[in-house]
Structure formats: structure tokens, C-alpha cells
Amino acid sequence: MLLKIALLLCTLLLSPACAEKSGGGRPAEAYGEYPTSASGQPPFLAETPQAFAGKLSPLAQGLRSWRDLEAPLANSLEYVGGKPASGIAIRRPGLSVTWGQITSSLERLRALLPRLDADPGLLAREFTWVRMDGGIMYTGYYEPVIPASRARKPGFTQPIYSTPRDMAAVKKRAKRYHDRAAIDKRGVLQGKGLEMAWMDPIEAFFLQVQGSGRLRFEDGVEAYVNYAAQNGHKYVSIGRIMREQGLLAEDEVNMAAVKAWLRANPSRQEEIFMHNQSYVFFRWGSNPKGAMGFPVHPWVSLAVSRPFIPLGAVVAYGVNLPEASGDSRPLRGIGLAQDVGGAIKGNRIDIFCGDGPRAAHIAGHLDAQGEAWVLLAK
């Protein structure tokens, strides 16, 4: 992601702002213990921090115990440890926090982990909960597994590229590098040895939306590609474009529906893709990593807008998750702000959903309002 510049979600398709790894293999019932209210709104919208904290469960995030947060907390602490304690992590109306406060909050949470399984209410007593006024718009992203080829061939006609050597200099001078039309229509990068792999054009486009993924080559070998850079052009949601053009109804705009339409209308794929002149470049990597440079964790790692929520912050979050069954299941969670995205602006949070079919479905359909609090140690 990770660093997911414009990359969010799969529901980014609609909004300008998509697991077997850690519980992705659990049945859906393990993730939502509390019913949606009769109005269809998540029940936590009117809850106090005390009530919210008392109902938190690690199982809802695919964790066996709150102690499973030890590793992601250690990553966040290493990141904020390089910041001056008195330095301002964020200052905006309603929230002013130093890096020292972020560090203290992470350390307090780590110290409480052995006691949280028995007493999640400690979170309400040990922290000041700073509510994000106006609520949060939630989307999701996940780690796709995508068929790929080492050479161009039928079915694998779109390359993904490593970062061009001249891009930094060009962006320094002109702010933006070649756009999608120049790269994919005019072929300005062909013959420069930048092709990393060849893919189906639709899957290659959505890999750029996700920002990272796992490639599965024809001989069964798998390799990770991570976000490396972006060309500086603004991200434009093709889902929104398709809705505005009447190609999809508003309630049909999700990743699966957009992909299906593109496959049914191959002559218009390029036309639709060209609405988004943002272009993402990749590097060979390992597990998906966030903006801190560490692996992201399903249902724990959150991508945020740094002017709104600082990287490293502890965040209590609540949102209804769209399940493949058609149900909407409330999720109360404790997350860590560990990633960013160019399409994530203001009061938007993108949840890393992991990998596998459930993660793909939720990331492709999640576009909902919920609650969030930044937790600061008292």
C-alpha cells in the first residue's frame, strides 16, 4: 500500500479517496458479535467510549488475544522513536498532539495487553478518547493474488513497471511525470528495461489501485510487488466516472461490478482507464508494507491522512463491514495508523483487510460511515 498513494481501496472505485492471514479463514460469524440496529446504522454511533471499550473483542479483528498486537505496536514504536518527543505530530482544530504523546500512548497500550483480554474497559480508563468530529468514511484495501507472466503473451499484455530513473528529476522540475496516456498508449517507457511482469490489463489497473500485491507466475512461483512511486497526477475514480456516465447504477459500483463491465466491454477498457491519469510504479518486495516501512496487519493497520490523524496514533474504530452473505456486521476495533494514501484525504480511514476472498469482498464493497477516536494515554 502500501504507501498507497492514490491507491486505496477497491471501493475507491466509487469514492475519491479496497483473510486468511490473520483470521481471514475464520467464519464471518466470528467477526461481528453485535447486531446492526433497526435503522441499519451501526449500534456504536451513539456509544460512549466506556460502552465501546467494554464490547471490544480481539476475535473481531482475527486476533487470538490482544497480546497479538505486540508486533505491530513494536513497529509503530520504532517509527515514532525517530521523532523528537517535543515535536508536533499533528496540530489542527480539535487535535494537537506531540510525538512524545504518541509514544506514551503506544507504550501504555503495550503495557496493558496482558490485562485487556479480561478487562477491555481498561482502554476507557487509561486513555483519553479524542473523537473525530463528523465521523469517518471507511474504505478498505487488501492483498490481491494475481496471475502474471514473465513475458508478453495472449492474456498477459499489460506490463507493470519499476520506477523510471528520470522520474525524480522530472517531477522536481515539472511536478508531474508522464501520464497514463503517454505510458500505456504512446509507450514512452517501452524498451527501457522497466517491465517487471506482464498481466491482464484489468488486473494491472487494479493492482495500481491497491498499491501492492502478490504475483503468481505460470510455473507456480509467487513474488510480492510493493508500491515504489507515483507519477504525480491526480487519482480519478473510474467507478465514479462509470456511474456518472450511466454505465453502472450507483448501488452497483464496486470492484466486482466494475471488473465485470470492463470484461464485457473490452473495446472500452482503454477509454475508461484513461480517465485516471495517475500511474503507479512498483518494486520487488515482501509482505505488503505500509508507509512506516513495516508489514501491515489485517484489521489492525489503518491508512490515514496525515494532516488529520498522525502516523503512529492508536485509533479505536467502528464500522459496519459488508459480508458476502449480504449481511452488514459491526466491527469494533483497536487500530494503528501505519499507512497513508494519496486518495485518503481528511476524515477517511482505509482498513487493511488482509488477503483471501473475504478480504477481497470487504475491500471491494466497504464505503461506509463510522466512528473513530484517537487514544491518548492519561
Domains of the chain: 11-141+289-377 (2.40.40.10), 145-237+276-285 (2.40.240.50)
Taking the alpha carbons of 232, 233, 238, 243 in that order, is the dihedral positive or negative?
Answer: positive
> Which residues is 283 bridged to in the sheet?
226
User: Do the beta carbons of residue 18 and residue 139 sit within 8 Å?
Assistant: yes
pLDDT of res. 328: 87
pLDDT of res. 370: 94
Q: Report the distance separating Cα 72 and Cα 225, nearest Å.
A: 21
pLDDT of res. 143: 86
User: Do the beta carbons of residue 34 and residue 322 sit within 8 Å?
Assistant: no
pLDDT of res. 177: 97
pLDDT of res. 98: 97
User: Do the beta carbons of residue 18 and residue 364 sit within 8 Å?
Assistant: yes
> Which residues is 333 bridged to in the sheet?
317
Name the residue type at position 30. A
Q: Report the distance separating Cα 272 and Cα 239, nearest Å.
A: 9
Task: Retrieve residue 32's grid coordinates.
Answer: 461481528
User: Do the beta carbons of residue 49 and residue 65 sit within 8 Å?
Assistant: no
pTM: 0.75
pLDDT of res. 69: 98
Q: pLDDT (tens digit, 0 to 9) for every residue of the chain, 378 residues total?
A: 443 433 343 444 444 333 222 222 222 322 333 334 444 566 667 789 999 999 999 999 999 999 999 999 999 999 999 999 999 999 998 889 999 999 999 999 999 999 999 999 999 999 999 999 888 999 999 888 899 999 999 999 999 999 999 999 999 999 999 999 999 999 999 999 999 999 999 999 999 988 888 999 999 999 999 889 999 999 999 999 999 999 999 888 888 899 999 999 999 999 999 999 999 999 998 778 888 989 999 999 999 999 999 999 999 999 999 999 888 899 999 999 999 876 788 899 999 999 889 999 999 899 999 999 999 999
pLDDT of res. 287: 79
